[in-house]
Structure 1
Amino acid sequence: MKIALIAHDKKKDEMVALSKKFEKLLSKHELFATGTTGLQIQEATDLSVYRFKSGPLGGDQQIGARVSEGEVDMIIFLRDPLTAQPHEPDVTALIRLSDVYEIPLATNKSTAMLLFKELENLAEI
């Protein structure tokens, strides 16, 4: 699968922790991420991550374009709902595209863990 990983600043540590916890699983998939999130994942794991621009510089839109082209199968987007984001319209557009193209999207750690555990279950079949 092609999995996009995105995290707002206050959620990057959570994304890194998730990536470490599910590193073996994620290593079997093609990973994409916004710039800083991808860099932090690469620094903390042995995962290969294709990095787009950072979110505020268009990374969310780049991933959205991949969604519209059928090149993303799942999105883990750890959002910070308590901090205003200058690129909120881009975030909303990405969420809308995931709904339009029926791409599984997790916006918090608990949902991300459920999606990753389901991927593990599918791998066992």
Structure 2
Amino acid sequence: MKPHRDRVDAKRHIALVAHDNKKVELLEWASYNRDTLAPHHLYATGTTGTMLEYELGLPVQRFLSGPVGGDQQIGAKIAEGVIDMLFFLWDPLEAQPHDPDVKALLRLGAVWNIPMASNVATADFLISSPLFATQYDRVVPDFGQRDWRGVTGQDDSS
């Protein structure tokens, strides 16, 4: 499996997600960074998207609420190469009924090598990076070249 570079535009496609106990924190962070976020394409799950659109006065493409599939929708957009940055303020102290979806979303972000922030401190570092608003050649794995035999325990040789 040979990685390749994927050119990411200076105009990012950014997913903003927050668990219930972190929504206010995300809204405050996004409001503070409104002018920096404004030129980019914004995506969010359910209620978070509605709140962000109202608070920021910016268009936000909304998906379903996280527990009913929104996390998976965002994960799919990451795998498709549409979303190239994830700000996901998740609550590590509160059990989530859709915890497998949360883990899957974070896993996809790591698999596809996109910048991710799980707390405000990391979000501050990402948004203030000189790479945030410039074209960037991100290294991504080439899964089309991977030999998947044995991965599922099945042999595809027949």
TM above 0.5, yes or no, is yes
Displacement after TM superposition at 1:121 (Å): 6.5
Does 2:81 match 1:70? yes
Displacement after TM superposition at 1:120 (Å): 7.7
- Contact 1:33–1:49 (CA under 8 A) maintained in structure 2: yes
Task: Give the TM-score normalised by the residue count of structure 1.
Answer: 0.94
1:18 match: 29
Q: Which amino acid aligns with 1:19?
A: A
Task: Decide which of 107, 112, 116 is 1:105's aligned counterpart.
Answer: 116
Runs of 4+ with deviation above 4 angstroms: 119-123
RCO higher in structure (CA 8 A, sep ≥6): 2
Q: How far, CA to CA, are the matches of 1:18 and 1:73 in structure 2?
A: 19
Does 2:59 match 1:43? no
Higher helix share: 1
- Structure 1 residues 105 and 97: CA distance shift in structure 2, 3 A: same
Does the residue aligned with 2:77 lie in a helix, a strand or coil?
helix
Higher strand share: 2
- Structure 1 residues 106 and 66: CA distance shift in structure 2, 3 A: same
Displacement after TM superposition at 1:16 (Å): 0.5
Q: For this pair of structures, how many residues does the alignment match?
A: 123
Larger radius of gyration: 2
Q: How far, CA to CA, are the matches of 1:119 and 1:74 in structure 2?
A: 15
* Structure 2: segments with no counterpart, 5+ residues: 1-11, 135-158
Q: How far, CA to CA, are the matches of 1:103 and 1:84 in structure 2?
A: 25
Q: CA RMSD in A?
A: 1.3
